[in-house]
Each structure stands twice: as C-alpha cells, then as structure tokens.
Structure 1
Amino acid sequence: MTSTSAKNNLFPPGLVSNLQQVLSKKNNEGEANRESDQAKDNVESTDPSASTSEEAIETSKPIVLVTNADGIDSPGLVYLVEALVREGLYNVHVCAPQSDKSLSGHSVTLGEMVSVSSAEFDGAPAFEVSGTPVDCVSLALSGALFSWSKPLLVISGINRGPSCGHHMFYSGVIAGAREALICGVPSLSISLNWKKDESQETDFKDAVAICLPLINAATRDIEKGLFPKSCSLNIEVPTSPSSKKGFKLTKQSMWRSTLNWQAVSANRYPAGHFMSNQQSLGIQLAQLGRDASAAGAARRMTTQKKNVEIESIGVAGKSDSNRVKKHFRLEFLDKDQEETEDDLDFRALESGFVAVTPLTVSPYTERDILTAASDWISAALH
C-alpha cells in the first residue's frame, strides 16, 4: 500500500479493514524467525568456544520500559509485561503506580515524598511508585532506579477504559507516554474500551495479542531510525478485541463526557460510626478522584487537619457551626457526540476498529509530524 495522498489529506485513505491477514502473516513470519534464531542459539550453546554469557545477551536486547495508570497489579499491565517477556526480544523493565491513577492527567508529585518499592514480575525488573504515571516515567528515565540511561521505547498501558478525544487531557495512561515523548523517548499508549457487564479480564490478553505486532514493528523501526520522530501513538482497542475489524488510522476527536458533580451527604456513615469533621472531609476529598491512593488520602487528611487548626486561630470568636461545608463526588456521564467523520478516534473505536492516533507536543510542526506518522503506520500495518 502507498500513501501518496498524505500531503493533500492528513491521513492515507487506503488504511482499511482487512489487516487481520496481514498481521497474521507478520506473526507467522516473526515466529519462524524466532524459531530459526532459537535453533541457531541451541547450536551455538553446544559449542565450547561460545563465550557469550546470558547477561551479555540480555543487555544486547533493546530496553522497553512499561508503565500504566491503573496500577501495577492491573491485568492490562500484567498481560502486557508477560507477553513482552515471552517474546524474548526485549529487556523489559516496569515502573508503574502502586494504585489507580487513571485520571491523574499530566500531574506530578512536587514537594512531597514519593516512595518506591520493588515488585515481582518474572523476567522483568520492576518498581511500584506512590506517585503518578508521569512520576513513574520521569523517575525511571532519571537513572535513579535502573542502570540504563534511556530505553528504546516506553509503553503505557493497557488502560481500562478509552482515552479518546478530550479524555486524553485527563488520561494518566496517555500522560505517561507523553512524558516519555517530552524526554525524547518514542512511546505508545494503549487503552481497552472496557464496558461494564460486557468486558472481561481476558479481553486484556486479546488486546495484547492485537498490539504486539505493532509494538514489534515500532521497536524494529526505532532501531533503524524509521519510526516517526516527535510523536507518540495512542492505540485504542475495541470492546471485543477478538472480533475487531482491523486497524484504522485516526485523528483526535472532540469527544468527551459531561462532568457531573453530585452532592454527597456528610451523614452517609452508619450510626455509631465515629469520624471527626477533619477526617470526614479528608476522606471525601480523597474519594473525589480515582487517583487517590491510601497514602494520598492520609496526606490529605493530615493537610486538612493542619489547615483547620490554622484557620480556627485566625477566625477566633467565630463559631464553627456557622461555617458551611459541602461534599461532592465527580462522575463522568456519556453524552451524544455530534462529530460524524469515520476517521475520528471514538467513531472508529465504536465501529469495532483498533484506532491508532498520532499525538504530538509540538504545535508548530504538527502537520508534518502527523503526516510522517501516518506514512509509518500505513507501512507498519501493511
């Protein structure tokens, strides 16, 4: 397939629906090559003169850093890491939040202590971090955790729920990939269009199988200098990955949900359950975002206590009973979308395609970057 229309039309019109056979062929070719390489390795291992150690072989593999936003124990990350290790092509490392930070956006933890603990992953050194996805990527790239200076590729995901349209600004999984891009490292973000009462955990495994050929193509072409520079690819996998229609090159839409604030009663705790006003307020605030970890909630409660004490001194003589306190909970509500173009991310996703959207942080050269990205995606998928 060619993409001669890329200059006139931002995305090639021929990127289409019948990619399953092509990807299957790529998988078969890759498997044959791996079997050939394995046979060669077995022969070399029987040669007494072979001096290459297992450690040297491991360090010769390209380094791939995996992070996410749902937390280090989430099935999307676990299945992805297992598959990358099983491929045997990469030196896989993991640095991910210890709890759910999926709506943290591009936030960082500034002026507060961030704790890091080792985590268990077969075949992949791993750390869990008390901070955000951006903290994880920034810390991993700083050289403070791993011996290498820079990975070949950063993969953020697989996220539970889509990150299309304006949700990209809220998304922690995209923020992790964006931070890598800001630091000069190519990156991919991956999300599964999870739907309650319809999706199941094994869908993440299917999503990994779908994305693996694209990951392999990316690492191969990054090494060759052929991967598009100054952009990240956001990959959105449909609700039923095993029945996908194919891949579709897409552009970011204006899609978003309505932010809906619900008033929460301060007396929602059962009778006999004692909690101070400060504690109640701290916990309510922690529950406003999915990004609140247990440590974060504790910090918020402590901060609230300090603020209340200081304020009570400053307003001496005023009764606390005269102060108005309200509690709210934020929810996302789906709303009808007016955009109808087929090459928009959420439209392709709803139609059963895997939506691949190039993203950039450079507004001045965006068109050239996205054109180069569209050319690469077309070549990689065909």
Structure 2
Amino acid sequence: MEGGQRSTILITNDDGIDAPGLRALVHSLVAPNLFNVLVCAPDSEKSAVSHSITWLHPIAVKKVHIDGVTAYAVSGTPADCASLGVSKALFPTLPDLVLSGINKGSNCGYHIVYSGTVAGAREAFFNDIPSISISYDWVKGKSNLQDFTLAAQVCIPIINAVLVEIKNQSYPRKCFLNIDVPNDIANHKGYRLTKQGKSIIKMGWRQVTSEREGRKMSSDMTNADTETPKNVDSSSVSPDHLLFAREVRGSVLDDDITDYKCLQEGYITVSPLAALSHAEVDCQAYFKDWLQSVPEIPSSSSL
C-alpha cells in the first residue's frame, strides 16, 4: 500500500467459500469501492480443523466468480488458504491485511485452539501479515443470515483503523486480533478490549451404530441445526468395527472479565492473540524447583 493506492485485503474462512459470513464480509468491503479484495477460501466446510496444514499431497485450486473480487476455492484447510494467499504464488501481490471469517459461531476461550477461523488469521501472522479473525455469536432460533451483514458493518471501523496504522507503519507485528460479535448486534454495547479466557464446551463420546448417526458439530463446538438420522440395525455393525460420535456434555465458563463473558454481556470483543500461549507464571515457578529435584542420568561422556 503506497501513497493513495487502495489497500489490498485477503479474505479466508473455515466455513467454506460459499458461506454467508464470508459473502457478507466480501460484499461489505466491495460496496464502497475502497479496497482491492482477494478471496482464497476452502472449497467446503473446514470447521474445527484448528491449524492443520496439507503436507503430503498438492491442493487443488479453482477460480470462483464472486462479484467485485478475484476469488479461488481451495481443497485445503484455512491455514493452507491463508498461506497460499500470501505466498505470491497465487496472487501477484501481498495483501496489506488478512481477514478470516465471518464465522458462524463464536470463537472464545479454549475454542480458539480448535478454530479454523482463528488459524487462518494466525497463519497470516506467521507470515508477518497483519490479520484479524472475525466470528458472530450465532444462536439457533434468534439469528438469521442478515446478521452476517450487520456483523461485517460493525467491524468495518476496526478494519479501517487497522489499515491506517499499517499505512503509517505503526501497527504492532507481535500479535493479531480476534473479534467476536454478540448475537444481538443491533443493541451491542460497543468495542471491548478483552483477553482469551478458559471457557470451553465439554465434549464426550457415545457409541453409535451408523456413520450417519449423531449430529454435525459446528465450528464453535456446539450442536448444529441438523436432524439426527434414525439408527440402523445394530446387527449390521461388526463387533470389530466400533463407531463413536462426539456429544456435548456441559460447559465451563469464566468468572474473570474475558472474551466469552464480555461477548455474552453484549460487547464486540477485540482480543489480541499471539502464536504461542505461555504457561502461567506459577507453573514456571513450580517446575523450576521441581526440575532441580529430578536426578540426572549421567551422560555417556562421563561414564
């Protein structure tokens, strides 16, 4: 981005290139004609794949028509898409900013570890490209597709402000941002700087009798809006071929002022993240003393 040139924004996600959250974000950025928008996103849903990458075989890339942008659907993961998008192998120029989202479901607390949406932004961060992951707290029975457009619109001021900092070369390069938009967007309480908490949906397993049985898990690790197919005759399953499906067993929520709690209070949460999560200070102190008490095995050179 030089002088009066338009900023280039690369968009990826984990819900797939046809997902309404990505399309709403693209449309909101294309409409004012202020940005050069590129899209490199998975060709199908890749929710909860975390930061996995494709290593053992090539990935397929296909050009897709989306009005106002240059877009490609990729057979890989969100991290693959972000990596390819900033590599200059697919697009001739580097983006000024990478956006990953808008995800259908929040990404707070420990769920950030599972999130393909956050991984897309993290991969750009690995490549020294400023990035933001964006998620909307979709709630069954309350949310609708128009909410993604509203979620994009409330994030535009942050995106613009980040681009200004990038242009001024004052944007910090030691972190990336994770944004969560509350369910009731029209009545949000404003932006709130938060930190990653420890909230998590506790998962369990149950034995099933068909690969079609059970409910699809959404990217925020909750049950998606899909019907549960009827069980097949259990006699058709071999005793040596056991099938297990994940299911929600409960949740653990934060008491501190963290991303999840502030999101539920109606704030648009903005959490700076880094590539690594360091252990708590008291753990460092414990293991410093503990390690000194562990007897060392003599090295071969001292024998």
TM-score class, shorter-chain normalisation, is 0.7 to 0.9
Q: 2:245 aligns with which of 318, 322, 329?
A: 329
**Counterpart in the other structure of 2:138:** 194
**Counterpart in the other structure of 1:120:** 65
Instruction: Judge conservation of contact 2:108–2:196 (CA < 8 Å) in 1.
Output: yes
User: Under a length normalisation based on structure 2, what TM-score does the superposition of the two structures give?
Assistant: 0.80
User: Under a length normalisation based on structure 1, what TM-score does the superposition of the two structures give?
Assistant: 0.64
Whose strand fraction is larger, Structure 1's or Structure 2's? 2
Distance 1:220 1:344 in 2: 27
Distance 1:226 1:127 in 2: 31
Cα displacement string for residues 220-252 of structure 1 (whole angstroms, at most 9, x for unaligned residues): 111101222211110000011111011111011
Distance 2:18 2:106 in 1: 19
**Counterpart in the other structure of 1:349:** 263
**Counterpart in the other structure of 1:32:** none
SS in 1 for 2:98: strand
Q: Which runs of 4+ in 1 moved over 2 A?
A: 287-291, 331-334
> What is the aligned-residue identity percentage?
40
Instruction: Judge conservation of contact 2:52–2:79 (CA < 8 Å) in 1.
Output: yes
Distance 1:100 1:332 in 2: 20
Whose helix fraction is larger, Structure 1's or Structure 2's? 1
Distance 1:221 1:344 in 2: 25
Task: Name structure 2 gaps, 5 residues minimum.
Answer: 220-236, 279-303
Instruction: Judge conservation of contact 1:230–1:362 (CA < 8 Å) in 2.
Output: no
Point out which structure has higher relative CO (alpha carbons under 8 A, 6+ apart).
1
1:112 Cα offset (Å): 2.5
Q: 2:158 aligns with which of 214, 233, 236?
A: 214
**Counterpart in the other structure of 1:258:** 202
Q: 2:255 aligns with which of 329, 332, 340?
A: 340
Cα displacement string for residues 308-345 of structure 1 (whole angstroms, at most 9, x for unaligned residues): xxxxxxxxxxxxx98621101123444242x322x300
Cα displacement string for residues 47-78 of structure 1 (whole angstroms, at most 9, x for unaligned residues): xxxxxxxxxx9x93121100011111111110
The structure whose Rg is larger is 1
Aligned length: 259
The alignment's C-alpha RMSD in Å is 2.3
| Pair 288,195 (structure 1): closer, same or farther in 2 beyond 3 Å | closer
Instruction: Judge conservation of contact 1:100–1:290 (CA < 8 Å) in 2.
Output: no
Instruction: Judge conservation of contact 1:259–1:333 (CA < 8 Å) in 2.
Output: yes
Instruction: Judge conservation of contact 1:250–1:356 (CA < 8 Å) in 2.
Output: yes
Task: Name structure 1 gaps, 5 residues minimum.
Answer: 1-56, 267-279, 292-320, 365-382
1:157 Cα offset (Å): 0.5
SS in 2 for 1:257: strand
1:362 Cα offset (Å): 5.0
